[in-house]
């Protein structure tokens, strides 16, 4: 369906409507989709035949193009690892895993289509870019067998499995304080989600306990999904340095994407990491061990989160458990080569 949608220049939900003979699209669009499907050798299985060969299945549902979750989300390191563990757990429990993605631009229309066509037993929703209102709307429409992964809103009667963002960022802040940093900077995502807000609170709490604060001039903001150096960050740092001010001796970044991008940007500006500026990230994606120096970061237990989400969903399906759960998985701090004591402390 994704291939046909790309070839026809329409959304995946439009392809679904065309293949299922439903209203909601023009006759021209329907004819184009069906013609491309025929040319591509696609033949839809009759529903009766599909029912006969049905196996237990779960759906992994993603809302893309939000500034955090890209259309090619399966290529983003954090989500790639998460999906791998979810697939393994589903297989071990006798379930197949189906994938569905929805463009945020067509939220209302595609949720309606999903509600009509969904034939899986339950849904794991990647919810880190969704608001409480959107999650509740999805839950009400797609049924009771839903687990939201990588987000948590305590006020909603929905299953959630998330990481302990506060704890992880607190660990990062405590580390920088322990090794002697007092002038500390913060690079935030310019796209805000619940996870980043919780990390900000945790990091600030660690500094506050040591009597430290982050100077407003030491706060920068960049795109959160680029692993390359960013021209915007380069401009911010250049302007800061040209004003005659000293850079902070350490910087915390809200995710590893930002941290790796920051390290590359600093290097291009002739600033050495960690000799001049220590850098700490969050997530421990596989790329954090490839970059030089290796990135000090917060390890997220992706495997544990994935297993809990699958198990919680299957329990809901097979045992009819009605009480919802909120599960937060603690983090682990990983010290590598991108952080060290500031020069004065080292001397």
Q: For position 52, what pLDDT does the model report?
A: 43
Distance CA 122, CA 309 (A): 11
Domain span(s) for CATH 3.40.50.2300 in the chain? 165-299+334-346
With H, G, I as helix, E, B as strand and everything else as coil, classify residue 225: coil
| For helices 77-92 and 302-319, angle between their N-to-C axes, nearest 10 degrees | 40
Domain span(s) for CATH 1.10.260.40 in the chain? 1-54
Q: Helix H segments across the chain?
A: 2-8, 12-19, 27-39, 47-52, 77-92, 107-117, 132-142, 165-178, 194-209, 231-242, 256-268, 302-319, 343-346
Of 202, 242, 175, which is closest to residue 328 (Cα–Cα)? 202
Fold that domain 165-299+334-346 belongs to in CATH:
Rossmann fold (3.40.50)
Question: What's this model's pTM, rounded to 2 decimal places?
Answer: 0.82
Distance CA 105, CA 242 (A): 41
Query: Could you write out the DSSP letters of every residue in 243-280?
Result: TTPPPPSEEEESSHHHHHHHHHHHHHTT--TTTT-EEE
Of 175, 173, 198, which is closest to residue 186 (Cα–Cα)? 173
Assigned architecture for domain 1-54: Orthogonal Bundle (1.10)
> What tens-digit pLDDT sequence spans the chain (347 residues)?
888 888 888 877 678 778 877 655 777 888 888 888 888 877 655 544 444 445 799 999 999 988 888 878 888 999 999 999 999 999 999 999 998 888 888 889 888 888 887 778 999 999 999 999 999 999 999 988 999 999 999 999 999 999 999 999 999 999 999 999 999 999 999 999 999 999 999 999 999 999 999 999 999 999 998 889 999 999 999 999 999 999 999 999 999 999 999 999 999 999 999 999 999 999 999 999 999 999 999 999 999 999 999 999 999 999 987 789 999 999 999 999 999 999 864 43
Distance CA 182, CA 97 (A): 48
């Amino acid at each position: 369906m994704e291939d046909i949608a790309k070839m026809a220049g329409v959304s995946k939900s439009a392809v679904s409507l065309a293949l299922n003979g439903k209203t909601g699209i023009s006759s021209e669009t329907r004819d184009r989709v069906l013609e491309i499907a025929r040319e591509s050798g696609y033949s839809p299985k009759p529903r009766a035949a599909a029912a006969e060969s049905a196996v237990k299945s779960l759906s992994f549902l993603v809302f893309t193009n939000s500034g955090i979750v890209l259309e090619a989300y399966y290529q983003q390191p954090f989500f790639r690892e998460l999906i791998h563990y979810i697939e393994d757990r589903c297989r071990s429990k006798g379930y197949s895993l189906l994938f569905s993605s929805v463009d945020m631009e067509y939220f209302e229309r595609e949720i309606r289509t999903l509600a009509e066509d969904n034939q899986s037993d339950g849904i794991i929703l990647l919810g880190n870019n969704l608001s409480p209102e959107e999650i509740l709307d999805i839950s009400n429409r797609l049924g009771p067998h839903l687990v939201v992964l990588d987000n948590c809103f305590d006020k909603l009667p929905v299953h959630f499995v998330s990481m302990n963002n506060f704890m992880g960022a607190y660990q990062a802040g405590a580390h920088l304080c322990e090794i002697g940093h007092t002038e500390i900077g913060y690079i935030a995502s310019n796209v805000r989600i619940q996870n980043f807000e919780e990390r900000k609170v945790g990091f600030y709490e660690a500094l506050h306990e040591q009597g430290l604060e982050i100077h407003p001039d030491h706060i920068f903001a960049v795109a959160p999904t680029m692993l390359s150096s960013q021209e915007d960050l380069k401009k911010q740092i250049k302007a800061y340095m040209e004003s005659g001010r000293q850079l902070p001796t350490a910087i915390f970044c809200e995710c590893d994407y930002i941290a790796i991008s920051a390290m590359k940007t600093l290097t291009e500006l002739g600033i050495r990491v960690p000799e001049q500026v220590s850098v700490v990230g969050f997530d421990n994606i596989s790329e954090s061990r490839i970059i030089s120096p290796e990135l000090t970061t917060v390890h997220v237990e992706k495997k544990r989160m994935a297993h809990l989400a699958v198990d919680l969903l299957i329990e809901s399906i097979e045992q009819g458990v009605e009480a919802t759960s909120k599960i937060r998985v603690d983090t682990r701090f990983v010290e590598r080569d991108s952080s060290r004591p500031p020069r004065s402390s080292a001397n």
